[in-house]
Amino acid sequence: MKGYIVASWGLYWVTIDTSPDENCFVVARNSQSAVALEQNSSGFDYGDVCAERIKRIPDDIVHKIKKKNKGFLPWPNYVHENDEIWEYFNLCSEWVEGRETIFIDNKSYSIASIGDIYYDNNPSLVYSVSDYLEKLDKYENGYLLYRGQNSASWELKPKLFRNSMPLDFSSMSDYEKWLLKEFKRKAYPYLETKPNNDWEWLALAQHHGLATRLLDWTTNPLVALFFAVYQSQEKFDAIVLIYNHGNQPIEITKLESPFFVKDRVIYEPSFIDKRIIAQHALFTVEPENIEDVTLSKDRSIYSLSIPPSSINQIKKELSKLSFNEHTMFPGLSTVCNEINGF
């Protein structure tokens, strides 16, 4: 038809006033198409859904995706993390003030949680050390572990399983054994006490940055709070995870090797390193098939978020309570940093 112009594909931010937990990014040709996708998918009525065009999708990206799909374009459709559109526009998902927030070109788009909407459960945010300790009171039942993270968006996954396995190895366990073998070979000149078994070797290596199947936890909630705010960018939420595992630490004498665990277990290491002592450290040991392992009924994970506006104040409060770099990382390097005022 003469004069007819086909609308270009675009990235749309779709919002639902009555259910902001379903706010999302959509690829569509126009706002009506973006709205219709959400209405058809979730059953919202006309007028409940709005769509704002954020970006035009370049023709070369459209052609690339069409070619990849053998002439078929999978749109209109939702934009998911790690797909081509997400990566092309460099979308970044972080948590701010207890809500998932997606950033594009320094603009933010917020998604409320289901708890906010349906259960009037506002994000559990921590504004001070005293506020944190008060909020912990309701989690006192059970065998509790604590873990602090600089970012609330990080996966709860050991370093070994965060990256793909090198092609030279047939399994992640084989790769981990090689890493530990190299650590043993090169660590001897620096050891004050030699570990007695692979469990102790892994614990020592983990605390000095080696990729292992161990995930760091602590029995001291203030240690976890320190690690949540320590080296934080103060742009996004930090987080403390509270893990009610339901089981006591394993007796390693009953398990031949950490490389063959079939379920998540708790490992409490011997005092083979000053950092392990200072950080009240213990670990969950994760099996190689980590994606297939589910939490049993007697285990629960809770979280407390620290918004960016509170991070610096909490750092100061923790330092007054002697939770600082010097006490958490005992050694001559931190002594010098403290003297230098770092």
Of residues 293 and 84, the one with the higher pLDDT is 84
Structure token pair of residue 146: 């604590």
Structure token pair of residue 187: 């660590």
Angle at 282 between CA 125 and CA 274, to 5 degrees: 105
**For residue 60, pLDDT beyond 70:** yes
Q: Which helix (H) or strand (E) holds 172?
A: helix 172-187
- The Cα–Cα gap between 139 and 195 comes to 35
Q: Which of 116-120, 132-136, 207-211, 318-322 has the lowest mean pLDDT?
A: 116-120
Residue 123's pLDDT band (boundaries 50, 70, 90)? low
- The Cα–Cα gap between 236 and 307 comes to 7
- The Cα–Cα gap between 219 and 282 comes to 7
Question: What was the pLDDT predicted at 116?
Answer: 52
pLDDT 10s digits, 80-106: 988 899 999 999 999 898 888 999 998
Structure token pair of residue 93: 């998902």
Question: What was the pLDDT predicted at 342?
Answer: 53
Rounded to an integer, the average pLDDT of 103-128 is: 73
Phi, psi of 284 (to 5 degrees): -95, 140
- The Cα–Cα gap between 320 and 278 comes to 16
Question: What was the pLDDT predicted at 3?
Answer: 44
Question: What was the pLDDT predicted at 293?
Answer: 53
**For residue 305, pLDDT beyond 70:** yes
pLDDT 10s digits, 208-217: 889 999 999 9
Per-residue 3-state assignment (H helix, E strand, C coil) for 240-284? EEEEECCCCCCCHHHCCCHHHCCCCEEECCCCCCHHHHHCCEEEE
What b-and-e string marks burial along 241-273, b requiring 16 or more CB atoms within 10 Å of the CB? bbbbbeeeebebeeeeebbebeebbbbbbeebb
What b-and-e string marks burial along 295-321, b requiring 16 or more CB atoms within 10 Å of the CB? eeeeeeeebbbbbeebbeebbebbeee
**For residue 201, pLDDT beyond 60:** yes
**For residue 271, pLDDT beyond 90:** no
- At a CB cut-off of 8 Å and minimum separation 6, what does 82 contact? none
- The Cα–Cα gap between 216 and 156 comes to 10
What value does the mean pLDDT of the chain take? Answer: 85
Percent of the residues in the chain that have a pLDDT greater than 90, as a whole number:
49
Strands 281-285 and 49-56 come out as: unpaired
Rounded to an integer, the average pLDDT of 27-38 is: 94
- The Cα–Cα gap between 227 and 328 comes to 9
